[in-house]
Amino acid sequence: MSTDQSNTGTGQQPARHAPAAIILAAGLGKRMNSDLPKVLHEVGGRPMVCAVVDACREVGCARIVLVVGHKQELVRAVFAGQSDVEFAVQDKQLGTGHAAKCAESLFDAEKREPGRAVFVLAGDGPLIRAHTLAAMLERHRTTGALCTLASSVIDDPTGYGRIVRDSAGRFVGIIEHKDCTPAQLAIREVYPSYAVFDARAMFAELAALRPNERSGEYFITDVPASLLAKGHRVEVIPAVPPEDVLSINTPDQLAEVDRIYRARGTAAAGAARRVHA
């Protein structure tokens, strides 16, 4: 399978500005049996969204915008006094595309010139690794893509958007699980909500985004195919280990992710001790 998934169009070579990030953190987490915002459930003894913010900082993001909604004051309190974290508000749950668009007013500077990279990530994915984001950013910059996605191949893709490719293995688009045909449901390569965009191109696409016919929501997963249709370059790299994709939708899933997260911390601490021994 080719890892250079693009059409024949190319974007402009980006300038080396520090990237920014939009973290989608307005989810309710209805199946968590709690009124707490989903991203505030703890993994490793702290709100899970903190791990996503840490990964963004480690990859060099100068600005991190959290899109908040339900009980937003609780999320804001976690990051009080942290000058690199800003907030945008999504009052209604109208999809990931709508959530990202809610942050647009904070990106006026990035929209004025091409090549300003902005990650769009889910706040409920604490197993994210900074080196995955670094690999995405490097591919994005070296190819001049307007969008770079990271994918993962997992045994049970239920609930995830599928990475659809043509007969030559080239990326065609992302299809949300509920919109998949029976054949597409069998695809095991998924989109785990890891994307980096040219900010100006992304917000232009979001302005023209149409609601999903089935749900009425606006999905950011429609943006890559739209960019391809306009002749722009979109890259996909299979860079996300299956373990990192684990969903957190129930208390049992939260416990499993917490176990993995803590085990990683223990392993990292042990490695550090061996280095300094």
97-138 pLDDT per residue, tens: 999 999 999 999 889 888 999 999 999 999 999 999 999 999
In the chain, pLDDT over 90 holds for what percent of residues? 81
For the chain, what is the domain count? 1
Q: Is residue 133 part of a domain?
A: yes
* Confidence grade of residue 37 (pLDDT, cut at 50, 70, 90): very high
Model pTM score:
0.90
Q: Which is higher by pLDDT, 70 or 57?
A: 57
**Structure confidence at residue 11 (pLDDT):** 44
Whether residue 31 lies in the annotated active site: yes
Average pLDDT (252-265) is: 95
Catalytic residue among 31, 112, 210, 262: 31
**Structure confidence at residue 116 (pLDDT):** 95
Which CATH number do you get for residue 186? 3.90.550.10
Q: Is residue 184 part of a domain?
A: yes
* Confidence grade of residue 273 (pLDDT, cut at 50, 70, 90): low
271 DSSP assignment: H
Report the Cα 117 to chain-centroid distance in Å: 13
Q: Is residue 270 part of a domain?
A: no
Q: Is residue 172 part of a domain?
A: yes
59 pLDDT above the threshold of 80: yes
- Is residue 4 exposed (0-12), middle (13-18) or buried (19+ Cβ within 10 Å)? middle
Give the E-state strand segments of the chain in sequence order: 20-24, 42-43, 46-47, 63-68, 85-89, 117-122, 147-150, 152-153, 161-165, 171-175, 189-191, 194-198, 234-237
Q: Is residue 44 part of a domain?
A: yes
Q: How far is CA 162 from CA 180, 232, 254, 268, in A?
A: 8, 21, 23, 32
Locus of tokens 């191109």: 201
Q: Is residue 182 part of a domain?
A: yes
**Structure confidence at residue 13 (pLDDT):** 42
Q: Is residue 127 part of a domain?
A: yes
Q: How far is CA 258 from CA 11, 18, 91, 178, in A?
A: 40, 31, 29, 28
Average pLDDT (18-27) is: 96
CA-wise closest residue to 239 among 180, 172, 191: 191
Per-residue pLDDT tens over the stretch 152-207: 999 999 999 999 999 999 999 999 999 999 999 999 999 999 999 999 999 999 99
54 pLDDT above the threshold of 50: yes
Residue 105 belongs to what domain range? 20-265
Q: Is residue 5 part of a domain?
A: no
> Rounded to whole angstroms, how far apart are CA atoms 201 and 28?
29
Edge-to-edge strand list for the sheet holding 152-153 = 152-153, 189-191, 161-165, 171-175
**Structure confidence at residue 67 (pLDDT):** 99
272 pLDDT above the threshold of 90: no
> Rounded to whole angstroms, how far apart are CA atoms 269 and 277?
12
